[in-house]
């Protein structure tokens, strides 16, 4: 592997040692290739010809294995809302470590964090902890099936809800596997049984009439409808208020549970991702920021639904796990959530608005067709003026206009960490306007370099 692998990119800058033949990242990747398929254990961090390996992080900055520093606009894909190595979180973790890391007994930390979540979020009565967003979604679906006595679920086309087989259906279908716009096909992921196609009804985002018809047509078999208030896989195209309200009304009409997947979108507000919409879900999946940088998940919901996990009842959903409610994780999560006060969310909202407005002005100044979506601390840049209303419009108009990996390399050279998958990003509380200005400058220069 040589520097020719990076053909088409500008001359490597001093802040891009990772691209040199002797780089530590290259050497680490060559070791990884010998023991991991394609040299990685997490597809979201894959980058050709090899990823940049992290060494350490502090605040809003990360340092790679070669010692180069960059501003982090990924924050481990939204899980680090306080940035890296927050001192108060580290102190809480260290204090907990001194007293042991895991027990075959419950600990106080689980109660403390559950109480905080119940107090903040009006639509959460009870909480059970697990270890990932995938698990949280899976147990929401299992709870819905147990509560309703029905098996099928409905989900929005193009939305990612983790890797549970049923939730993963149609999370990124190619054009030849999508079916009709008003009645999307159930595209089964590789590795799952083809039989699950019949268990999942796929709804078009923001096509209210079509979604209502599909729900009504399958009302006797549907256990739940699951929706993300701010779906990253759909380019942060939000469900419209009307779409949300009418889907919620339809689920109530037919006795179908409404699941809000807030694994990522819980960072949108102090009271939860659906608070501003006035929607009251039956179940909510959480993860990412509630773990303070450690693996975590939580299935939350109304008390009457959460009773399906009650082991003292005759029939219950079995829910166990060696590291459920791990005290180290929950100590980090509790301290993180305590720091996320209403004022902290207001500051993030202001910074998010500042960044989105700055990118819009840059695009206008450069006469580059584009738009910036998102809310709060989340943002996504789409290089098209075409209306973006659902997964298909994002895939058709936005994604082909930019090579995400090439843009990622250009931004890395300019001291900015973004996703290899495109211009999706998030903010942390450690950021200020100068870091956001640096992002906009780097994006402008990167787009110019890529023509």
Which domains are delineated in the chain?
A: 3-81+341-449 (3.90.1150.10), 87-339 (3.40.640.10)
11 pLDDT band (50/70/90 cuts)? very low
17 pLDDT band (50/70/90 cuts)? confident
| Per-residue pLDDT, 4 | 34
pLDDT digits (tens, 9 = 90+) for 345-391: 999 999 999 999 999 999 999 999 999 999 999 999 999 999 999 99
Find all residues with CB under 8 Å of 273, minimum gap 6, and list them.
Answer: 229, 230, 260, 262, 265, 266
| Per-residue pLDDT, 400 | 65
In the Cβ-directed half-sphere of 346, how many Cα atoms lie within 13 Å? 3
Q: What percent of the chain has pLDDT over 70?
A: 96
Of 7-21, 132-146, 217-231, give the lowest mean pLDDT range.
7-21
403 pLDDT band (50/70/90 cuts)? confident
The predicted model gives 4-23 an average pLDDT of 58
pTM value > 0.85: yes
The predicted model gives 325-345 an average pLDDT of 98
Q: Are 78 and 289 in contact (CB under 8 A)?
A: yes
| Per-residue pLDDT, 5 | 37
Find all residues with CB under 8 Å of 117, minimum gap 6, and list them.
Answer: 124, 127, 286, 290, 298, 300, 337
Q: Are 136 and 286 in contact (CB under 8 A)?
A: yes
Query: Which is it for strands 257-261 and 222-227: parallel, antiparallel or unpaired?
Result: parallel
Whole-number average pLDDT of the chain: 94
Bridge partners of 378? 426
Q: In what order do the strands lie in the sheet with 69-72?
A: 54-58, 61-64, 69-72, 416-417
Bridge partners of 183? 180
Q: Does 14 score more than 80 pLDDT?
A: no
Q: What percent of the chain has pLDDT over 90?
A: 91
238 pLDDT band (50/70/90 cuts)? very high
Q: Which bin fits 236, alpha (ψ -120 to 50), beta or left (φ > 0)? A: left
Distance CA 413, CA 70 (A): 9
402 pLDDT band (50/70/90 cuts)? confident
Find all residues with CB under 8 Å of 360, minimum gap 6, and list them.
Answer: 370, 371, 372
Burial zone of 7 (CB within 10 Å; 0-12 exposed, 13-18 middle, 19+ buried): exposed
| Per-residue pLDDT, 15 | 53
Annotate the chain with three-state secondary structure: CCHHHHCCCCCCCCCCHHHCCCCHHHHHHHHHHCCCHHHCCCHHHCCCCCCCCEEEEEECEEEECCCCEEEECCHHHHCCCCCECCHHHHHHHHHHHCCCCCCCCCCHHHHHHHHHHHHHCCCCCEEEEECCHHHHHHHHHHHHHHHHCCCEEEEECCCCCCCCHHHHCCCCCCHHHCEECCEECCCCCCCCCHHHHHHEEEECCCCHHHHHHHHHHCCCCEEEEEECCCCHHHCCCCCCHHHHHHHHHHHHHCCCEEEEECCCHHHHCCCCCCCCCCCCCCEEEEEHHHHCCCCCEEEEECHHHHHHHCCCCCCCCCCCCCCCCCHHHHHHHHHHHHHCCHHHHHHHHHHHHHHHHHHHHHHHHCCCCCEEECCCCEEEEECCCCCCCCHHHHHHHHHHHCCHHHHHHHHHHCCEECCCCCCEEECCCCCCHHHHHHHHHHHHHHHHHCC
The predicted model gives 419-429 an average pLDDT of 91
The predicted model gives 232-242 an average pLDDT of 96
Q: Does 8 score more than 70 pLDDT?
A: no
| Per-residue pLDDT, 421 | 79
445 pLDDT band (50/70/90 cuts)? very high
pLDDT digits (tens, 9 = 90+) for 193-230: 999 999 999 999 999 999 999 999 999 999 999 999 99
399 pLDDT band (50/70/90 cuts)? low
305 pLDDT band (50/70/90 cuts)? very high
């Amino acid at each position: 592997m040589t520097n020719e692998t990076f053909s088409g990119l500008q001359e490597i800058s001093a802040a891009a040692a990772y691209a040199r033949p002797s780089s530590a990242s290259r050497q680490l990747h060559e070791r990884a290739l010998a023991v991991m398929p394609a040299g990685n254990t997490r597809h979201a961090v894959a980058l050709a010809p090899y990823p940049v390996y992290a060494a350490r992080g502090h605040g809003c900055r990360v340092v790679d294995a070669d010692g180069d520093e960059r501003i982090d606009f990924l924050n481990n894909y939204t899980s680090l809302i306080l940035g890296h190595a927050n001192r108060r979180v580290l102190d809480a973790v260290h204090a907990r470590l001194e007293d042991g890391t895991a027990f075959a007994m419950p600990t106080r930390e689980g109660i403390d964090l559950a109480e905080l979540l119940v107090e903040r979020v009006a639509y959460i009565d009870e909480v059970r902890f697990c270890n990932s967003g995938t698990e949280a979604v899976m147990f929401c679906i299992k709870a819905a099936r147990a509560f309703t006595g029905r098996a099928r679920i409905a989900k929005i086309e193009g939305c990612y809800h983790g890797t549970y087989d049923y939730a993963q259906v149609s999370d990124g279908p190619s054009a030849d596997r999508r079916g009709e716009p008003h009645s999307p096909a159930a595209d089964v992921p590789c590795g799952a049984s083809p039989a699950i196609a019949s268990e999942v009804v796929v709804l078009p985002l923001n096509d209210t009439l079509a979604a209502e018809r599909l729900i009504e047509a399958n009302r006797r078999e549907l256990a739940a409808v699951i929706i993300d208030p701010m779906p990253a896989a759909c380019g942060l195209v939000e469900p419209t208020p009307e779409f949300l309200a009418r889907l919620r009304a339809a689920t109530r009409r037919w006795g179908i549970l409404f699941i809000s997947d807030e694994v990522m979108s819980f960072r949108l507000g102090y009271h939860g991702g659906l608070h501003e919409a006035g929607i009251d879900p039956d179940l909510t999946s959480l993860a990412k920021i509630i773990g303070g940088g450690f693996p975590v998940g939580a299935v939350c919901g109304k008390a009457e639904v959460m009773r399906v996990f009650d082991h003292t009842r005759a029939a219950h959903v079995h829910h166990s796990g060696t590291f459920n409610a791990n005290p180290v994780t929950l100590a980090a999560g509790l301290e993180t959530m305590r720091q996320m006060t209403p004022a902290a969310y207001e500051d993030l909202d202001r910074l998010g608005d500042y960044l989105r407005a700055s990118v819009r002005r840059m695009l206008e100044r450069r006469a580059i067709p584009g738009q910036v979506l998102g809310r709060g601390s989340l943002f996504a840049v789409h290089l098209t003026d075409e209306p973006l209303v659902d997964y298909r419009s994002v895939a058709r108009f936005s994604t082909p206009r930019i090579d995400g990996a090439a843009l990622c390399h250009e931004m890395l050279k300019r001291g900015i960490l973004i996703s290899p998958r495109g211009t999706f990003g998030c903010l942390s509380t450690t950021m200020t306007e100068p870091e956001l200005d640096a992002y906009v400058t780097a994006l402008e220069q990167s787009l110019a370099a890529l023509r």
